[in-house]
């Protein structure tokens, strides 16, 4: 119960308290509706909100933020309101796998908690352990076979049906509660769900649906099965509406084909489909050249973790460049299917890049020698390369590293023992007080290989296979256990050896060093960063900005 006293001198406080009381009493019942359950069901709210008798008190802001997340993911107008468009989308038939990862509770978590897991073999087997009641077995066999072929058509994977015995992927048509803690809901709503490879890859279909073959009537089995088998192979949902891995059923498509987003995702896990060279040169891939003989030293980061540059793209993906090749990084290591050739993905861009960064305009800039290139995504802009002296006046050629520092949004260039700050909004963009000594970045060495403002808010500096994490609050290399510098091969590239990247480690890579999840800025393996109050932080920030 809420109590408050009336005061003529504080009408605004009365209004605020009244609003809080009404929110506690009235909002929760109004939010306990189908939308609330839906948002919880698909990962936008905690699972506790699915239970009408839960003591969880839902506040308006949390509910609106969840709606906005769903609207953004579904490509709707982001209003934060349960408008007609949002309600219509929530009524669409869809896959039962969560859209949003984060609330890994209940038995359903097994299908999403380790999204991105993959099979370690290329020749997979499957069986249909339970057939649908209203569809011929021969039709079911054919549609399921075609659904697997969607993925084998763009990867090295093969799929073989077995009638009995153990298999990699088991397919079942069930109704209601069927033993996995996630019951089906009858016709419409949830059509099917599947498990990621690490939990077996099985796929379940709601047999209450009217499954159809090559027809606009009913629910097309082939398309739904192809989607579910994407999960069985390790793919999560896509927010690209044209992608097969989008969560919503779009109806029968007579001329079906995979979206580019689907192809890129599955090939990141398993690589490209090989083909035999008509000239007799052996197998090659359809879209990516193999690593050339003699380039193994550049292509193997675990032998030598030294890199040319690292940068995060406009869409938040982090890449490592070395020699002619590049790697896509995940939160814990390197994405499968890498390395790849830089020139294939960024046409016109040479290898052996000096530095790179993505600016707040969404453009990515690459530097080499006396020149620089500007790209939108992976497409070069206009007439590049251009001279560094023209586009970045005041910045030297042959730089060591560059990044956009999160502390002030300015661009920093590093070379030898010096650094320059570049601000394109000012004239001149480089002040006369530069260059300054890198020693101003306490603990950061000279002659860097790379610098990166990572997505977790920290700045990282790399040199000779090791890296340093910079703490903006202390304006020095971060204090952690194990201390910095650390071997980049183990902590960034997922190498297993204690001497990953040629650097001996003071710990065993047994999986207990959870700081490998670099996107957690508060994880210091038991050693927290120094604590400051806000006033002290502002003072230190002011002093540091003067120095930097």
CB of 261 closer than 8 Å to CB of 245:
yes
Q: Is 354 annotated as a binding residue?
A: yes
Q: Cα dihedral angle (451, 453, 459, 463), rounded to 10 degrees? A: -20
User: Of 441, 438, 463, 443, which Cα lies nearest the Cα of 308?
Assistant: 463
> Phi/psi at 413 (nearest 5 deg)?
-115, 140
As beta bridge partners, residue 284 has 275
**Of 55, 228, 257, 300, which residue is the catalytic one?**
228
Q: Is 449 annotated as a binding residue?
A: yes
Per DSSP, the three-state class of 219 is strand
Q: Is 325 annotated as a binding residue?
A: no
Q: Is 237 annotated as a binding residue?
A: yes
Q: What DSSP assignment string belongs to 11-65?
A: HHHHHHHHHHHHIIIIIHHHH-SHHHHHHHHTTSS-GGGG-TT------HHHHHH
Q: Is 186 annotated as a binding residue?
A: yes
User: Of 40, 37, 27, 185, which Cα lies nearest the Cα of 102?
Assistant: 40
State the CB neighbour count (10 A cutoff) for residue 229. 25
Q: Is 231 annotated as a binding residue?
A: yes
Sheet of 318-322: strands edge to edge?
309-312, 318-322, 325-329, 340-341
Quickly tell me which residue has 């038939």 as its tokens.
93
Q: Is 217 annotated as a binding residue?
A: no
> d(Cα 108, Cα 318) in Å, to the nearest integer?
30
Q: Is 75 annotated as a binding residue?
A: no
State the burial class of residue 433 (Cβ atoms within 10 Å of its Cβ: 0-12, 13-18, 19+).
exposed
Q: Is 182 annotated as a binding residue?
A: no
> d(Cα 227, Cα 229) in Å, to the nearest integer?
5
Q: Is 308 annotated as a binding residue?
A: yes
Token pair for 45: 């709210």
Q: Is 202 annotated as a binding residue?
A: yes
State the CB neighbour count (10 A cutoff) for residue 496. 12
Q: Is 547 annotated as a binding residue?
A: no
> d(Cα 320, Cα 329) in Å, to the nearest integer?
7
> Phi/psi at 439 (nearest 5 deg)?
-60, -20
Assess whether 228 carries a catalytic annotation. Answer: yes
Q: Is 168 annotated as a binding residue?
A: no
> d(Cα 62, Cα 44) in Å, to the nearest integer?
10
Q: What is the DSSP letter of 524?
A: -
Going by the annotation, the residues of the binding site for Ca(2+) are 185-186, 200, 202, 206-207, 209, 308, 354, 356, 402, 449
Binding residues for Zn(2+): 95, 178, 180, 193, 204, 227, 231, 237, 245
Which of the residues are catalytic? 228
Please give the annotated binding residues, written as ranges.
95, 178, 180, 185-186, 193, 200, 202, 204, 206-207, 209, 227, 231, 237, 245, 308, 354, 356, 402, 449
């Amino acid at each position: 119960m809420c109590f408050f006293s009336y005061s003529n001198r504080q009408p605004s406080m009365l209004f605020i308290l009244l609003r809080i009381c009404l929110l506690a009493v009235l909002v929760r019942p109004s939010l306990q509706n189908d939308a609330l359950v839906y948002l919880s069901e698909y990962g936008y709210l905690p699972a506790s909100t699915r239970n009408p008798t839960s003591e969880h008190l839902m506040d308006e802001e949390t509910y609106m933020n969840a709606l906005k997340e769903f609207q953004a993911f579904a490509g709707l107008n982001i209003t934060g309101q349960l408008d007609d468009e949002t309600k219509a989308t929530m009524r669409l038939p869809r896959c039962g796998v969560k859209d949003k990862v984060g609330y890994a509770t209940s038995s359903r978590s097994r299908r999403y908690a380790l999204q991105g897991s993959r099979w370690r073999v290329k020749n997979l087997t499957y069986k249909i352990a339970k057939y649908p009641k209203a569809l011929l077995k021969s039709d079911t066999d054919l549609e399921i076979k075609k659904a697997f072929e969607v993925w084998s058509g763009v990867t090295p994977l093969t799929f073989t049906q077995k009638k009995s015995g153990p298999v990699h992927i088991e397919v079942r048509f069930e109704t209601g509660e069927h033993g996995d803690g996630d019951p089906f809901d009858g016709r419409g709503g949830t059509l099917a769900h599947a498990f990621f490879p690490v939990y077996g890859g099985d796929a379940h279909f709601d047999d209450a649906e009217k499954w159809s073959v090559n027809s606009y009537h009913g629910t097309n089995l082939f398309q739904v099965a192809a989607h579910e088998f994407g999960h069985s192979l390790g793919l999560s949902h896509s927010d690209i509406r044209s992608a097969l891995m989008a969560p919503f059923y779009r109806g029968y498509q007579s001329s079906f084909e995979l979206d580019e987003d689907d192809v890129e995702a599955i090939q990141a896990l398993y690589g490209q489909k090989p083909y035999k060279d008509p000239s007799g040169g052996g197998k090659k891939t359809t879209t990516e050249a193999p690593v050339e003989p003699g380039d193994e030293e550049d292509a193997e980061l675990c032998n030598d973790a030294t890199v040319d540059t690292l940068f995060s793209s406009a869409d938040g993906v982090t890449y490592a460049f070395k020699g002619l090749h590049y790697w896509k990084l995940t939160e814990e290591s390197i994405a499968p299917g890498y390395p790849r050739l830089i020139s294939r993905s960024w046409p016109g861009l040479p290898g052996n890049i000096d530095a790179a960064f993505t600016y707040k305009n969404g453009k990515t800039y690459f530097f080499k020698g006396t020149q620089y290139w500007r790209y939108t995504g992976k497409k070069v802009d206009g007439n590049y390369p251009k001279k560094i002296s023209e586009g970045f006046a005041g910045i030297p050629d042959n730089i060591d590293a560059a990044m956009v520092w999160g502390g002030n949004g300015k661009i920093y260039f590093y070379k030898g023992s010096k650094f320059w700050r570049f601000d394109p909004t000012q004239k001149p963009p480089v002040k006369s007080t530069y260059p300054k000594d890198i020693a101003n970045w306490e603990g950061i060495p000279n002659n860097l290989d790379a610098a990166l403002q990572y997505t977790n808010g920290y700045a990282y500096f790399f040199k000779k296979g090791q890296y340093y994490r910079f703490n903006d609050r202390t304006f020095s290399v971060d204090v952690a256990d194990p201390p910095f510098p650390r071997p980049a091969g183990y902590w960034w590239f997922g190498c297993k050896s204690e001497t990953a990247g040629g650097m001996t480690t003071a710990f065993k890579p047994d999986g207990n060093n959870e700081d490998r999840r670099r996107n957690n800025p508060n994880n210091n393996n038991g050693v927290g960063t120094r604590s400051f109050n806000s006033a002290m932080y502002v003072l230190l920030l002011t002093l540091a900005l003067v120095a930097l």
